[in-house]
Amino acid sequence: MSINSNLTRIISDSTSIEIVADYINKIIKDGKNYGRSDYGNGKRVNIEYTPFSKELDFNTVRVCVYGDCLSNIMSFAGYDVTREFYIKTDDNDIEEIKKKLDKIRVNFDVFTEEQTLYDNGLIDVVLSKLQRSDKCYISEDNLWLKTTDLYDTKDRVLINGDGTYSYLLPEIAYHIDKFNRKNDKVIDIFDSRHRCIDGIKSGIEIAGYSSDKLEIRIIDNNNSKNIDLNVIIDKMGLNALRYYLASIYDGEIDIYLTKMNSMDNPFHYIENAYAKICSLLRGKSYEMADKYSTIVGESAYTILNKLIEFVDIAVSACNGNINIICNYLYELASLFYNYEKEIAGVDNKYIKEKFLLLSAIRTVMNNAASMLGLILREEI
């Protein structure tokens, strides 16, 4: 979205100064809750974004950051979100993985072990359902599932010739387990290296369940970015890394790094604006007003409309386009820089209301940044 978007302007020259006051005061009063809504109506959403690689390579971190941001956004918009991590049977060092996830500011509500699906008998129940369908056949001593009858490009093995279960069978059972937990929607966020996505969806339906609740989002693998995660974080910091990944920045990360402390770098541009606002407000405290007679003019009205737009932006991002939050932050920072020039040198008796508008900007920047898991610095 651009600053000159087609948003219907709520604040304009014909707006009463009392209405302007209502909006500014509401933003400041609501604080960290400004922009929250009941859009999701409390619907239960399970979001799984299990790392593909135990080493948390660059593409795996992209999946984790995307899943974490989407979880924040949907929760902010009124969904009852559960963040889930699926532990494969060969993941013997899960505590080490948790430590690595902490390092990129990613956490989960539920850790489900694949072994529990064996222990509670669900895998055998699902296998029985699949075998009773007309979609199973034996070839080369393996038991196959006709997933090509639905969404897949090739059939998949369920049981190997030596009697061991393939990776597909536990995956099907795991998704059915998530359905059985009465989730209204199940979202899987996969690295494009993940195996058999269409096979999972096909297996769910062959087992007698609707896949309508399942939404699979693929984060494309980019093998050109085999860069050590520790080196990246040391060079650019976690905030900048998360912003980069959430925005799907158009350009290679090495170019992004060279601009790290330049205003050409979008995150530095945003954080610098936030720090300036904090500096202007530091040590100042004003009571909210009934009227904001000095908040007039195109720049002020454009900022107010952008702040009001945040409520809709938060809802729009629930569709998975989390980069619109990044764009919004950048646009709001741009509007502040323009407005900063206008208020420079303004007589003190007129500055109070403008500081309150800046306080509203800071509030919204904080809330948008929190969705992305960013902690903006107040001093640079």
Query: For the whole model, what pTM was predicted?
Result: 0.91
Whether 233 maps to a domain, the answer reads no
Whether 147 maps to a domain, the answer reads yes
Residues 136, 199 share a domain: yes
Residue where one domain finishes, among candidates 225, 245, 280 = 225
Residues 27, 122 share a domain: no
Contacts of 92 by beta carbon, 8 Å cutoff, 6+ apart: none
pLDDT at position 221 over 80: no
Average pLDDT rounded to a whole number, residues 175-185: 96
pLDDT at residue 352, rounded to an integer: 83
Residues 266, 200 share a domain: no
Number of domain units in the chain: 2
In tens, the pLDDT along 116-147 reads: 999 999 999 999 999 999 999 999 999 999 99
pLDDT at residue 259, rounded to an integer: 64
pLDDT at residue 219, rounded to an integer: 83
- CATH number of the domain encompassing residue 176: 3.40.50.620
Average pLDDT rounded to a whole number, residues 28-42: 97
Residues 74, 120 share a domain: yes
- The confidence band for 257, taking pLDDT boundaries of 50, 70 and 90, is low
pLDDT at residue 146, rounded to an integer: 97
Residues 125, 51 share a domain: yes
More confident residue, 41 or 223: 41
Residues 308, 359 share a domain: yes
Residues 24, 68 share a domain: no
User: For the chain, what is the mean pLDDT?
Assistant: 87
Average pLDDT rounded to a whole number, residues 150-171: 95
In tens, the pLDDT along 332-358 reads: 999 999 888 777 665 555 578 888 999
Residue where one domain finishes, among candidates 225, 251, 276 = 225
User: How many Cβ atoms are within 10 Å of 88's Cβ, its own excluded?
Assistant: 15
pLDDT at position 96 over 90: no
pLDDT at position 260 over 80: no
Closest CA to 278 of 380, 172, 176: 380
Whether 288 maps to a domain, the answer reads yes
Residues 97, 203 share a domain: yes
- CATH number of the domain encompassing residue 282: 1.10.730.10
Share of the chain above pLDDT 90, in %: 62
Residues 123, 172 share a domain: yes
Closest CA to 265 of 330, 322, 323, 328: 330
Residues 317, 182 share a domain: no
Q: Locate 367 and state its tokens.
A: 């809330």
Whether 98 maps to a domain, the answer reads yes
User: How many Cβ atoms are within 10 Å of 2's Cβ, its own excluded?
Assistant: 7
Residues 21, 77 share a domain: no
List the domain range (segments joined by +) for residue 80.
44-225
pLDDT at position 249 over 90: no
